[in-house]
Amino acid sequence: MTTALKKKKELLTDAGRQQKEVEENINRLEIQIQGQEIKLKDLEADLEEIEKQERSKVVTGKKAGKVNVLAQVAKGRVEELRTALAEVRKERDETRSRIKELEEILSKFKVEYNPNFNDEGVKRAVRSWEEYAARGTSEGLENAARDRDLDEIVKPDDDKSGVNWEQWENEEDGCEANLGMYFACRISIVETNCNLVYQLAAYLPPSLVNFIEDKALAIRGFLEQNGILPTKDEGSASESKAVTEARDAVDAVRKSIEDLKNQVKDHKEDLDTDYGVGSIFRALKGVCIQKDAGEYTYEHCFLDQTKQIPKKGGSTARMGNFVRIGSVTIDQLNESGEIVPEERISLEYAKGQTCWNGPARSTSVVLQCGEENEILKIAEDEKCVYSMLVNTPAVCPGGEEDVHAASGRKDEL
């Protein structure tokens, strides 16, 4: 077994492993998509239910009632007071800290000063400190309890603590707090008797009230779908927090599904890509080799691109981007000294940087069997049309059958 053939078998094994990883990734992603689609259906059902509940509430349009306005003003005022309280409390704590520090200094002064030192000013200071210390301090359980109360007060309001402002900001006035009566008020010929209609609901059986509300909701939905009445989004300045959160959850899962499907699409396109016999060039994709020639260093990255890099500075010229695996026929001398045509595998690169007053650069990389990946020769056959002769074990004859047989035995195990 030659060294080149051994390296080719290693490339085939590596390519098979990479291809299997792609297939496993596709299976894993498709399972994730199925799970996300089930989750999406549940979230869409939740969103529909929440929207239905919200539509059953009052829809008064953009004009807020007195309770709403009062709640908004009160909320702003409470936030101002809460902020001020937090700032004052911070200043108090800083003052307490400074007082404690000063008391420690004076205590140390009282202990360490010389009582035999005849300085009336010092003695008066010590006596004043003793009187101050004898009075004690108000610190204790009472202040600890007050601090706990302050901790609760400065917490933000929500539906679990403090005031649920959202409830009051969405509170509706009058008969519009009842969907069935709201609909009756809207479509009643005698709109001035809206309050009277609302009061009549108190005398109707609960089953009849529920029936009227269900029918009113169905009719309103029909009118909204046909553009006769504005939808809630069109008729109100904002939607409730519950609807927003439910819709955001649905959108997030939809985006996740879209991303997963794009990944599956990319992997499937990769599987459909021609990587040669046994997908051997999959193992070489992105592997780069270089060769110095004159004032330039030429670089070939398998199935990626070719470059021309100046040695003395300047910009690198992209000689082409990978397009396909092809074949070319070249004339070769056989053992008898005769010139015979020989077909070889080529890697075609096109749409490189445009030459000055010329076409876009392109490169045809002709491959021949060799132990190492190596650029042997570079030529400019025409203006901005290049060719490379490259050695690689990937095109050496044989090896595919042995790798496939070994892979089959491994799968059986």
Which tens digit of pLDDT belongs to each residue from 119-138?
A: 677 777 777 877 777 776 65
pTM of the model: 0.54
Task: Kindly tell me if the per-residue pLDDT of 193 is higher than 80.
Answer: no
In the three-class reduction of DSSP (H, G, I as helix; E, B as strand; rest coil), residue 211 is classed as helix
Q: How far apart are CA 227 and CA 182, in angstroms?
A: 19
Q: Which residues contact 37 (CB under 8 A, 6 or more apart)?
A: 257
User: How do residues 17-75 score in pLDDT, each as one tens digit?
Assistant: 999 999 999 999 999 999 999 999 999 999 999 888 877 764 444 455 666 667 677 77
Q: Which residues contact 231 (CB under 8 A, 6 or more apart)?
A: 224
Q: What tokens were used for 43?
A: 């979230």
**What would the mean pLDDT of 269-285 be, rounded to a whole number?**
93
Q: How far apart are CA 413 and CA 53, in angstroms?
A: 58
Q: Which amino acid is at 412?
A: E
Q: What string of DSSP letters covers 166-177?
A: HHHHT---GGGG
In the three-class reduction of DSSP (H, G, I as helix; E, B as strand; rest coil), residue 45 is classed as helix
Which residue carries 């010590």 as its tokens? 126
In the prediction, which pLDDT does 413 show? 41
Q: What tokens were used for 89?
A: 């409390």
**What would the mean pLDDT of 334-355 be, rounded to a whole number?**
89
Which residue carries 């009566």 as its tokens? 181
In the three-class reduction of DSSP (H, G, I as helix; E, B as strand; rest coil), residue 231 is classed as coil
**Which neighbouring-strand residues pair with 151?**
none
In the prediction, which pLDDT does 235 show? 43
Q: What tokens were used for 361?
A: 């650069």
In the prediction, which pLDDT does 162 show? 61
Q: How far apart are CA 125 and CA 109, in angstroms?
A: 10
The 8-class DSSP code of residue 4 comes to H
Q: What tokens were used for 42?
A: 């549940």
Q: How far apart are CA 213 and CA 232, in angstroms?
A: 17
- Range among 190-204, 237-251, 368-382 with highest mean pLDDT value: 368-382
In the three-class reduction of DSSP (H, G, I as helix; E, B as strand; rest coil), residue 228 is classed as coil
Task: Kindly tell me if the per-residue pLDDT of 301 is higher than 70.
Answer: yes
**What would the mean pLDDT of 232-260 be, rounded to a whole number?**
82
In the prediction, which pLDDT does 172 show? 54
In the prediction, which pLDDT does 411 show? 45
In the prediction, which pLDDT does 125 show? 76
Q: Are 335 and 266 in contact (CB under 8 A)?
A: no
Q: Which of 161-165, 250-254, 258-262 has the lowest mean pLDDT?
A: 161-165
Beta strands across the sheet bearing 362-369 = 288-293, 296-301, 305-310, 317-333, 339-350, 362-369, 385-392, 374-382
Q: Are 167 and 67 in contact (CB under 8 A)?
A: no
Q: Which of 100-109, 161-170, 236-245 has the lowest mean pLDDT?
A: 161-170
**Which neighbouring-strand residues pair with 380?**
386
Q: What string of DSSP letters covers 110-173?
A: HHHS-TTS--HHHHHHHHHHHHHHHH--S-SHHHHHHHHHHHHHTSPP-SSSS--HHHHHT---
In the three-class reduction of DSSP (H, G, I as helix; E, B as strand; rest coil), residue 217 is classed as helix
Q: Would you place residue 161 in the very low, low, confident or very high pLDDT band (cuts 50, 70, 90)?
A: low
Q: Which residues contact 201 (CB under 8 A, 6 or more apart)?
A: 178, 180, 181, 209
How far is residue 400 from each of residues 310, 344, 358, 407, measured CA to CA in Å?
Answer: 40, 18, 43, 11
Q: Are 286 and 301 in contact (CB under 8 A)?
A: yes
